[in-house]
């Protein structure tokens, strides 16, 4: 698999991927915002990938996902990683009875993920180029893992994000959100997010937090800004999903 240095070389602003702050002090973030802002989101993200403007990209799985995968607490079965980017977290979650789909709207991201994983093919991962808001998998998933996807979406898309989480999870499924919660962002992506932002869109659909804790293994620029929440789907939200998906 490619080293994180190789990933760093293609990133804007001369910064090593993922080691800079994800705010306006990082030239890569400024450039990412210019590319994504005001575009159809798929076009904006595609430009980021094609121009190598990926300042969020760690070049390897985030330590929290490695810890989760080794914890023995994850459900077996099918796993979805929406907005998988370079695919590192999807690969880290695979195995031990878990079959993973990494999904990204940008073909360039999917090609990167396939390339990165090709030298050491993971046991059970598929990478799919499709839009999270419209993709129709054959079956709902046992587990969905969201990292730097919610915070990268325009806030107007959050109700649709929650509705899709509800649709894409089995009735007994689990949603894990590794929540990056920057403060005082004047614009995005990444956008300001709080636990309340997640609760506002997930609770009405019957999602409840089973556990929430600080991410004690966050990478340096994100230390103190991340929490891991594990959400259970309850029957309370049955029938309340909205069909308001973006076009
Ligand atoms: C901030 S990046 C995070 C990537 C990855 N989760 C990580 O932590 O490295 C957000 C990713 O979401 C993808 N994306 C944005 N909108 C999407 C959508 N509607 N469907 C699928 N992927 C999307 C982008 O192409 C991008 O790769």
Question: Residue 65: CB within 6 Å of ligand 1?
Answer: no
The residue whose CA is least distant from atom 7 of ligand 1 is: 85
Question: Residue 109: CB within 6 Å of ligand 1?
Answer: yes
The residue whose CA is least distant from atom 13 of ligand 1 is: 83
Mutate to test the pocket of ligand 1, among 26, 43, 45, 117 (most ligand atoms within 8 A of CB): 45
Task: Let me know if residue 50 belongs to a domain.
Answer: no
Task: Let me know if residue 93 belongs to a domain.
Answer: yes
Percentages of the chain per state (helix, strand, coil), in multiples of 5 = 35, 20, 40
* Domain count across the chain: 1
Write down the pLDDT at residue 187. 80
Write down the pLDDT at residue 14. 37
Question: pLDDT of the chain along its 247 residues, tens only?
Answer: 433 333 333 333 333 356 688 888 888 998 999 999 877 888 999 999 999 999 999 999 999 999 999 999 999 999 999 999 999 999 999 999 999 999 999 999 999 999 988 877 776 999 999 999 999 999 999 999 999 999 999 999 999 999 999 999 999 999 999 999 987 777 888 899 999 999 999 999 999 999 999 999 999 889 999 999 999 998 876 656 554 555 4
Contacts of residue 73, defined as CB under 8 A and 6 or more positions apart, other chains included, come to none
CATH number of the domain enclosing 102 = 3.40.50.150
Write down the pLDDT at residue 12. 36
Task: Let me know if residue 9 belongs to a domain.
Answer: no
Contacts of residue 19, defined as CB under 8 A and 6 or more positions apart, other chains included, come to 219, 220, 221
Task: Let me know if residue 246 belongs to a domain.
Answer: no
Task: Let me know if residue 141 belongs to a domain.
Answer: yes
Task: Let me know if residue 172 belongs to a domain.
Answer: yes
Going across the sheet that includes 141-147, the strands are 125-129, 98-104, 77-82, 141-147, 169-180, 226-233, 207-214
The residue whose CA is least distant from atom 15 of ligand 1 is: 83
Give yes or no for a contact between 174 and 143, defined as CB atoms under 8 angstroms apart: yes
- Residue 151 Cα: closest atom of ligand 1: 1
Q: How far is the CA of 48 from the centre of ligand 1 (A)?
A: 10
pLDDT tens column, 169-187: 999 999 999 999 987 777 8
Question: Residue 105: CB within 6 Å of ligand 1?
Answer: yes
Question: Residue 150: CB within 6 Å of ligand 1?
Answer: no
Task: Let me know if residue 48 belongs to a domain.
Answer: no
Task: Let me know if residue 110 belongs to a domain.
Answer: yes
Q: How far is the CA of 85 from the centre of ligand 1 (A)?
A: 5
Q: Residue 89 sits in which domain range?
A: 60-237
pLDDT tens column, 8-60: 333 333 333 566 888 888 889 989 999 998 778 889 999 999 999 999 999 99
Mutate to test the pocket of ligand 1, among 105, 109, 221 (most ligand atoms within 8 A of CB): 105
């Amino acid at each position: 698999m490619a080293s994180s240095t190789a990933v760093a070389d293609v990133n804007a602003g001369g910064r090593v991927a993922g080691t800079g702050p994800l705010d306006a002090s990082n030239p890569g973030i400024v450039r990412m915002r210019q590319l994504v802002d005001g575009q159809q989101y798929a076009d904006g993200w595609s430009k980021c990938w094609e121009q190598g403007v990926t300042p969020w990209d760690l070049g390897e799985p985030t330590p929290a996902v490695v810890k989760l995968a080794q914890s023995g607490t994850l459900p077996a079965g099918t796993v979805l990683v929406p907005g998988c980017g370079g695919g590192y977290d999807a690969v880290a979650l695979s195995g031990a009875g878990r079959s993973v789909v990494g999904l990204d709207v940008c073909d360039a991201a999917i090609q990167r993920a396939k390339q990165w994983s090709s030298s050491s093919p993971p046991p059970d991962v598929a990478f799919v180029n499709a839009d999270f808001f419209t993709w129709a998998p054959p079956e709902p998933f046992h587990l969905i893992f969201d990292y730097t996807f919610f915070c990268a979406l325009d806030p107007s898309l959050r109700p649709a994000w929650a509705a899709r989480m509800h649709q894409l999870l089995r009735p007994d499924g689990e949603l894990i959100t590794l929540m990056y919660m920057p403060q005082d962002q004047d614009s995005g992506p990444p956008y300001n997010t709080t636990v309340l932002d997640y609760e506002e869109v997930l609770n009405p659909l019957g999602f409840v937090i089973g556990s929430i804790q600080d991410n004690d293994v966050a990478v340096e620029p994100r230390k103190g800004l991340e929490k891991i929440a594990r959400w259970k789907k309850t029957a309370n939200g049955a029938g309340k999903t909205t069909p308001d998906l973006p076009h």
